[in-house]
Amino acid sequence: MPVEMMIRKLRLHSELPDENVEALRAVVTPVKNMPEDSLIVREGDLSTQCCVIMSGFAYRSKVSETGKRQILSFHIAGDIPDLQGLPLKRMDHDLTTLSPARLGFINHDALERIIESRPALARALWRETLLDAVLFRQWIVNLGTRSASGRMAYLIGELRQRLAAMGLVANEQFDFPITQSKLADALGLSVVHVNRVLQAFRTEGVLDFKRRVVTLRDLERIVELGGFESVEEDGGRA
Amino acid sequence: MPVEMMIRKLRLHSELPDENVEALRAVVTPVKNMPEDSLIVREGDLSTQCCVIMSGFAYRSKVSETGKRQILSFHIAGDIPDLQGLPLKRMDHDLTTLSPARLGFINHDALERIIESRPALARALWRETLLDAVLFRQWIVNLGTRSASGRMAYLIGELRQRLAAMGLVANEQFDFPITQSKLADALGLSVVHVNRVLQAFRTEGVLDFKRRVVTLRDLERIVELGGFESVEEDGGRA
DNA sequence: CGATATATTGACAGGAGTCAAAGAGGGTGG
DNA sequence: CCACCCTCTTTGACTCCTGTCAATATATCG
């Protein structure tokens, strides 16, 4: 049951009665398989449903008027990357698969109906969209205050933590099928420089980024370089 | 009635019955005057109330482990900059006054009580927190894709638009009492370079940043430099 | 009118971008 | 099974935007 990832993540952040969880589970439509680089929703679209990542990766991005694409965030199994579309409707960015992915969908009308009578669920979803914003703020700090290698280390560190919470890290190694060009778009760097940073990490034994798989060789250094600090340990719960 | 700014902003983004607005107005406590550079809430705090800016400016910031402070956003009259504290409770960043400011406060318990029976209001607040996230995403694009002057132009352009929506821009001129050092922290640049950019803008007749007041001399250029595009014209309404 | 914060300048250094070309990998079709 | 192609990665040379350091000028304020 791949919906479990989503449930797991929600319950990591909010207390939820079983009944609410069941109601939510019931409105997730059958899974759809999508190849990599498929646009799920486009900036400007009016959303009528939101998507649940069952497996694989997705990313949100925007292109600035300068023509450069900025990747805003990466999403993993369990995430609902366009949940904010429920209240906002109009998408302010694109959502694309990074790898082949299995997606579930939740129709907005159906979701509205079930949260109407379930305040705890409504609140949990609100919190979920705000935890998203927490990551954006951290990303701003990352872009604004760190050097190229620091940014890269931070990205890997954050990803590792989120994947670990979903049980997707084994032996300090995880799947992350991304090109250096997309890394560059996420970090606000040039492809060439991303390559240089990765090379350095490899030769210095910090981490290895081969064949869609990241291997963390010196977690200590990564945490240090990325100035990474643990987040959402309690999901901000009171 | 300085609460009107907040009401005005909410209604710009969401349809709200008069009754809801009255209920909301009723829970805003009397205004408190704060001098500039006063910390309103600190990272790590558990919020029990949220604040409404009646007049003046505030900013949200985080310090990265490198010791550098990153300013995440600026807030103006009408904003509720820590609204996300209602569902999240634990603050992930600081909130500080940029200028002397008049603030109102809304107790969380009181707010919970009034939104419990007013779904439209609850939804409006949810949307408000998400519009905040829209701005964060744009800021990520700004930091990740633009040059120093582009970032500066974008900041000014965004601020102008938000101030204009609150009726705080006259003759392409508005109050913005900030030091170059804080601008640097917001833009991810050094103070020296911020100074250079501002100098250039001044001599090229793009804009003037004197004595806490910004004068836009060539809006065309600013929009062009900042690649600024209009947002929240409809607040994302369906 | 000092005292302190802020703004401004100049010289210099260096991280990251750009350009261009060469390798590697991974598919695909014959 | 190999040749070919296309995308992605890697390298090297060179440029330049932005940071750093340090000194000076200007504001602001009690």
What are the domain boundaries of chain B?
4-125, 146-226
Query: Which residue in B43, B189, B179, B174 sits closest to B98, CA to CA?
Result: B179
pLDDT at B210: 85
Query: Mind telling me how many Å the CA of B125 is from chain A's nearest CA?
Result: 10
B188 touches strand D (CB under 7 A): yes
**Residue pLDDT, tens place only, A163-207:** 999 999 988 999 999 999 999 999 999 999 999 999 999 999 999
Cα–Cα distance between A179 and A87 in angstroms, integer? 33
Binding residues for strand C (Cβ < 7 Å): A 147-149, 188-190, 192-193, 211; B 179-181, 191-192, 195-196, 198-199
Of B127, B129, B146, the CB nearest to A66: B146
Q: Nearest chain A Cα to B146, which residue?
A: A66
Quote the distance between the C-alpha of residue B74 and its chain's center: 4
Measured between beta carbons, the chain B residues lying within 8 angstroms of A116 are 119
B141 touches strand D (CB under 7 A): no
Chain A touched by B229 (CB under 8 Å):
yes
Count the Cβ atoms, other than its own, within 10 Å of residue A136.
21
A6 phi/psi in degrees, rounded to 5:
-65, -45
Residue from A140, A223, A229 whose CB has the most chain B CBs within 10 Å, to mutate: A140
The stretch B28-46 carries a mean pLDDT of 94
B82 phi/psi in degrees, rounded to 5:
-120, 30
- Contact check, Cβ <8 Å, B130/A88: yes
Least reliable range by pLDDT among B57-61, B144-148, B228-232: B228-232
Instruction: Quickly list DSSP for chain A.
Output: -TTHHHHHHHHHHS---HHHHHHHHHTBPPPEEE-TT-EEE-TTPBPSEEEEEEES-EEEEEE-TTS-EEEEEEE-TT--TTTTHHHH-B-SSEEEESS-EEEEEEEHHHHHHHHHT-HHHHHHHHHHHHHHHHHHHHHHHHHHH--HHHHHHHHHHHHHHHHHHTT--BTTEEE----HHHHHHHHT--HHHHHHHHHHHHHTTSEEEETTEEEES-HHHHHHHHT-----SSTT--
Q: Nearest chain A Cα to B86, which residue?
A: A127
Query: Mind telling me how many Å the CA of A124 is from chain B's nearest CA?
Result: 8
* A147-226 CATH pick, 1.25.40.10, 1.10.10.10, 3.30.70.20, 3.30.70.100: 1.10.10.10
Q: Dihedral sign, CA of A42, A78, B142, B85?
A: positive
- Residue-averaged pLDDT of chain B: 92
Fold held by B146-226: Arc Repressor Mutant, subunit A (1.10.10)
Half-sphere exposure of A76 (CA within 13 A, CB side): 20
What percent of chain B has pLDDT above 90?
Answer: 85
Is residue A235's pLDDT more than 60?
no
Cα–Cα distance between B49 and A73 in angstroms, integer? 30
pLDDT at A222: 81
Fold held by A4-140: Jelly Rolls (2.60.120)
Chain B touched by A81 (CB under 8 Å):
no
B163 phi/psi in degrees, rounded to 5:
-65, -40
The CATH H-level superfamily of B4-125 is: Jelly Rolls (2.60.120.10)
Query: Which residue in B104, B99, B200 sits closest to B149, CA to CA?
Result: B200
Query: Mind telling me how many Å the CA of A134 is from chain B's nearest CA?
Result: 7
Instruction: Answer for the pair B158, B203: CB distance below 8 angstroms, yes or no.
Output: no
pLDDT at A229: 55
Is residue B89's pLDDT more than 60?
yes
